[in-house]
């Protein structure tokens, strides 16, 4: 395994040393003959390549169809967008009562503390989201707190983003202490891809911070393919479990990456090996620039049927989509 190189490398230095140049990425993978078209480079200007070296080390050299590579490499089809693929398919801007706060489902609010991610996933439904106008600062806490207190049905805070674990431990600690001071909040949840792409993010200091808050903790990681997971991921999940953190995974159904039952079964078993259970399998939101990853519902439903036959029930993710105005995710 090449990944021993990264095992003892501090997560922040890895975050400061991402690959952001598509030509460098192709060179690392010995794909020197790969043709990056003008459209692919334009797509890269709209949403810059960003990928940790540790994630690149898990890609297969010489394979232009590597399932990890396809998730991050700008593609010319992003610039040939069908009209039903739009910039804000979830109308999130409308469910935004305060800076950084999304309240769509009764019992839980979603907070975007940062727009930064360790990796830029080409299919991401937030690739067009105006994060810069929408990041709460310390002075916004009073407003957020007031909103939560005036909605006693809220019992869970979900930290999303961006990737909340791209914040420093110090910053996270300040926010987590604020949340844990609210007695109505029973659960604190993270939606994050960092434990997959830079597992060293789950460090001793962060584990201690989690241990110090009394709420139930949930870590929903995001992996789409078993090849993304390695021993360092297993170590991170093991350490979280030691602190009684419930670990789940969500994936996105992506054409050409994980759209067959063999790949998705292997992912479920690999997650289980790390004691992580599959949570959601999302059908793609129709976000501008992602149409080449789209699979029709009929294929998704057929795939779920195959998974039900292949896997024990607890390893079958729930196939869902997000529908504007619905009060929960919608099963297919």
Ligand X SMILES: *Cc1c(COP(=O)(O)O)cnc(C)c1O
- Judge contact between 54 and 6, C-beta under 8 A: yes
Interface residue with ligand X among 25, 68, 73, 110 (CB under 6 A) is 110
Select the residue interacting with ligand SF4 from 101, 109, 117, 271 (CB under 6 A): 117
Task: Using DSSP, state whether 279 is helix, strand or coil.
Answer: strand
Q: Give 26 or 319: the residue with its C-beta nearer to ligand X.
A: 319
Element (H, E) at 269: helix 261-273
> 203 or 322: whose CB is closer to ligand X?
322
Residue 121 binding ligand SF4, by CB under 6 A: yes
If contact means CB under 5 to 8 A according to the sort of partner, which of ligand X, ligand SF4, none does residue 319 touch? none
* Binding status of residue 243 toward ligand X by CB under 6 A: no
Torsion sign (Cα): 21, 23, 7, 252: positive
Of the pair 25, 185, the CB lying nearest ligand X is at: 185
CA–CA distance, 153 with 156 (Å, rounded to integer): 9
Of 58, 75, 108, 217, the one binding ligand X by CB under 6 A: 108
In whole angstroms, what is the distance from residue 259 CA to residue 282 CA?
12
Residue list 219-278, contact with ligand SF4 (CB under 6 A):
222
Residue 122 binds which entry of ligand SF4, ligand X, none, with Cβ cut-offs from 5 to 8 Å by kind?
none
Q: Which stretch binds ligand SF4 (CB under 6 A): 112-120, 256-264, 265-273, 302-310?
A: 112-120
- Count, residues near ligand SF4 per rule CB under 6 A: 11
Range list of β-strands (E), 12-142: 101-105, 108-112
| 41 phi and psi angles, rounded to 5 deg | -70, -35
Q: 86 by DSSP, 3-state: which?
A: strand
Burial of 246 (0-12, 13-18, 19+ CB in 10 A): middle
CA distance linking residue 12 with residue 6, whole number of Å: 12
**Residues numbered 312-331 forming contacts with ligand X, rule: CB under 6 A:** 328-329
120 binds, among ligand X, ligand SF4, none (CB under 5 to 8 A by kind): ligand SF4
- Using CB under 6 A, pick the residue from 43, 49, 102, 165 that binds ligand X: 102
> For the stretch 7-25, what's the b/e string if a residue is b when 16 or more beta carbons lie within 10 angstroms of its beta carbon?
eeeebeebbeebbeebeeb
Choose among ligand SF4, ligand X, none what residue 110 binds, the Cβ cut-off being 5 to 8 Å by kind. ligand X
Binding ligand SF4 (rule: CB under 6 A), the pick from 58, 75, 108, 120 is: 120
CB of 149 to ligand X, least distance (A): 18
Residue 292 interaction partner, one of ligand X, ligand SF4, none, beta carbon < 5-8 Å per kind: none
Query: What's the rounded Cα separation, in Å, for the pair 226 and 72?
Result: 16
| Strand pairing class (156-160; 187-192) | parallel
225 interacts with ligand X by CB under 6 A? no
Residues 69 and 254 sit within 8 Å (Cβ to Cβ): no
Query: Which residues within the stretch 23-82 sit at the binding site for ligand X (CB under 6 A)?
Result: none
Applying CB under 6 A, which residues contact ligand X?
102, 104-105, 108, 110, 158, 328-329
- List of residues contacting ligand SF4 (CB under 6 A): 117, 119-121, 124, 126, 161-163, 193, 222
């Amino acid at each position: 395994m090449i990944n021993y190189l990264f095992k003892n490398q501090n997560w922040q230095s890895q975050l400061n040393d991402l690959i952001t140049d598509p030509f460098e990425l192709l060179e690392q993978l010995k794909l020197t003959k790969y043709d990056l078209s003008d459209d692919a480079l334009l797509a890269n200007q709209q949403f810059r390549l960003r990928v940790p070296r540790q994630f690149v080390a898990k890609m297969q050299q010489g394979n232009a169809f590597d399932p990890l590579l396809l998730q991050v490499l700008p593609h010319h089809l992003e610039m040939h967008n069908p009209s039903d693929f739009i910039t804000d398919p979830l109308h999130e801007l409308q469910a935004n009562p305060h800076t950084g706060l999304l309240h769509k489902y009764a019992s839980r609010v979603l907070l975007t503390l940062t727009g930064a991610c360790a990796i830029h996933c080409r299919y991401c439904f937030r690739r067009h989201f105006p994060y810069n106008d929408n990041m709460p600062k310390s002075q916004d806490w009073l407003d957020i707190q007031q909103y939560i207190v005036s909605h006693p049905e809220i019992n869970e805070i979900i930290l999303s983003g961006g990737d909340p674990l791209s914040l420093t431990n110090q910053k996270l600690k300040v926010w987590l202490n604020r949340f844990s001071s609210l007695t109505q909040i029973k659960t604190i949840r993270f939606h994050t891809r960092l434990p997959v792409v830079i597992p060293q993010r789950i460090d001793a200091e962060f584990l201690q911070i989690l241990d110090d808050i009394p709420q139930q903790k949930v870590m929903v990681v995001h992996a789409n393919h078993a090849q993304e997971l390695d021993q360092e991921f297993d170590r991170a999940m093991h350490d979280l479990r030691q602190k009684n953190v419930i670990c789940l995974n969500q994936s996105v159904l992506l054409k050409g990456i994980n759209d067959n039952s063999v790949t998705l079964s292997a992912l479920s078993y690999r997650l289980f090996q790390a004691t992580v259970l599959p949570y959601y399998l999302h059908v793609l939101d129709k976000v501008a620039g992602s149409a080449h990853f789209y699979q029709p519902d009929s294929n998704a439903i057929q795939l779920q049927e195959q998974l039900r036959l292949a896997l024990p029930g607890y390893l079958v993710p729930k196939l869902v989509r997000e529908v504007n105005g619905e009060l929960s995710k919608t099963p297919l």
